[in-house]
């Protein structure tokens, strides 16, 4: 069976699909986040590690790591839709990219914020110009730059293309962040930050952390689709199908 993917690339076709998916993603997100929080706060040990234990503040891992992962993943999504939009000139791809950016920026800020609150008790400082902290900060500026550039250009199509190009150029930051956290040769990168090696984490930490990650991922789907629907309505407000949708939603 072959699926004509371009059929779903039409905003009119995707608008109702997104609308039907939002409640599912919201529900899954809520359930997973509640499970993750319950597990992380009540079923894991209060202290972590041997001679120099991480005390209760290590629980910040349950939001810090998921937020940091989402910040990088959503940037890949943003750049991916931008590239598809530039290559195939599909309107929906650009709208998707635009819808991802604010959620990505929020997660990047949260990764920095929760990292600072973890750094203070464990390293003794909120901030350090460590490679991975700095590169995550640059990622935040890239998101802000994308949003700012898009809103600075009045013509929507030009704004889409210019911001998409910025997103693709900024893609170089993602491997920099990832490799500066998961340094291939630890002798060459002297950094405070620990490697994110899931194999070395205790299962009672890993499971709630992954649960929270999936929960926030699901949340991202819901938030991005909700924003996408508003963007679609705004941009397509002259089309007949929007009139029908509005009439339907007024009666419902």
Partner 1 sequence: MMAFFSQGGYAGYVWGAFGMTFGLLLIEVLQLRSSRKTTLTRIRRLLRLRAPRQASTEADRQRGTSGPTS
DSSP string, 25-58: HHHHHHHHHHHHHHIIIIIS-S-BSSSS-B-GGG
Return the bridge partners of 251, or none.
none
Residue nearer to partner 1 on the CB measure, 162 or 210: 210
Minimal distance, residue 42 CB to partner 1, in Å? 8
180 is an interface residue for partner 1 by CB under 8 A: no
Contact window for partner 1 (CB under 8 A) among 89-97, 118-126, 145-153, 157-165: 118-126
Residues with Cβ within 8 Å of 118's Cβ and at least 6 positions away in sequence, in order, are 57, 58, 60, 61, 64
* Cα 79 to Cα 74: distance, rounded to the nearest angstrom: 9
The residues in 48-107 that bind partner 1, with binding defined as CB under 8 A, are 55-57, 59-60, 63-64, 67, 102-103, 106
Contact with partner 1 (CB under 8 A) among 6, 38, 46, 125: 46
Torsion angles phi and psi, residue 219, rounded to 5: -60, -45
Burial of 66 (0-12, 13-18, 19+ CB in 10 A): buried
Strands of 8-131, DSSP E: none
244 is an interface residue for partner 1 by CB under 8 A: no
241 is an interface residue for partner 1 by CB under 8 A: no
218 is an interface residue for partner 1 by CB under 8 A: no
Binding site for partner 1 (CB under 8 A): 37, 41, 46, 55-57, 59-60, 63-64, 67, 102-103, 106, 109-110, 113-114, 117-118, 120-121, 219, 223, 226-227, 229-230, 233-234, 237, 242-243, 246, 249-250
């Amino acid at each position: 069976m072959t699926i004509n993917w371009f059929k779903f690339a039409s905003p009119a076709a995707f608008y109702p699909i997104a609308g039907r998916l939002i409640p599912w993603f919201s529900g899954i997100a809520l359930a997973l986040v509640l499970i993750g929080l319950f597990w992380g706060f009540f079923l894991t040990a209060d202290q972590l590690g041997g001679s120099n234990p991480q005390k209760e503040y290590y629980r910040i891992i349950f939001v810090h790591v998921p937020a940091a992962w989402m910040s990088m993943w959503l940037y890949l999504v943003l750049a991916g839709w931008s590239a598809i939009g530039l290559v195939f000139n599909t309107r929906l791809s650009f709208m998707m990219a635009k819808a991802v950016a604010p959620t990505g920026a929020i997660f990047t800020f949260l990764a920095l914020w929760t990292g600072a609150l973890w750094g203070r008790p464990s390293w003794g400082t909120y901030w350090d110009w460590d490679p991975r902290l700095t590169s995550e900060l640059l990622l935040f500026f890239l998101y802000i730059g994308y949003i700012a550039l898009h809103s600075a250009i009045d013509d929507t199509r030009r704004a889409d293309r210019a911001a998409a190009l910025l997103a693709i150029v900024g893609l170089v930051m993602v491997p920099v962040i990832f490799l500066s956290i998961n340094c291939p040769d630890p002798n060459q990168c002297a950094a405070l930050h620990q490697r994110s090696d899931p194999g070395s984490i205790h299962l009672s930490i890993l499971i709630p952390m992954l649960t929270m990650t999936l929960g926030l991922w699901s949340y991202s789907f819901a938030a991005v689709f909700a924003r996408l629907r508003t963007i679609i309505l705004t941009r397509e407000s002259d089309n007949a199908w929007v009139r029908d949708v509005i009439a339907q939603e007024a009666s419902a």
